Amino acid sequence: MPDELFRVLNKDKYLFVFLKKNHGFLIVGIKKYFYFFKEGFHLVSIFEDEFLGKYGYCTECEKPMLWDKRQGWRPAREDEYFELSLNKDFFKHPW
């Protein structure tokens, strides 16, 4: 890993690096846009729906995700779909 990247990661607690096993490359990401599951890190994409507003969706799990600022992401149950909407605080603060 280049020294400059190592310094940035040490200073910023919101960034992290992981190795994508199947593809063999390093990914630098903002922690709150990833969901950690037993196989590793899954990217949580932000989508917008006219009824739900902006919400997280794990493309690897193929599930809508529910955000908790203390615990991070978790898959949403069907009865929680109307709670998926992300508020403005999610986008203002790194974590």
pLDDT at position 29 is 72
Tell me: pLDDT of 8 over 80: no
Tell me: pLDDT of 20 over 60: yes
Tell me: pLDDT of 95 over 60: no
E-strand stretches of 1-95: 15-20, 25-30, 34-37, 40-49, 53-58, 63-68, 72-75
Other Cβ atoms less than 10 A from the Cβ of 44: the count is: 23
pLDDT at position 47 is 94
Q: What's the pLDDT tens digit per position in 32-89?
A: 888 888 777 888 999 999 988 999 999 888 999 999 888 889 999 999 988 999 988 8
Q: Domain extents for the chain?
A: 3-92
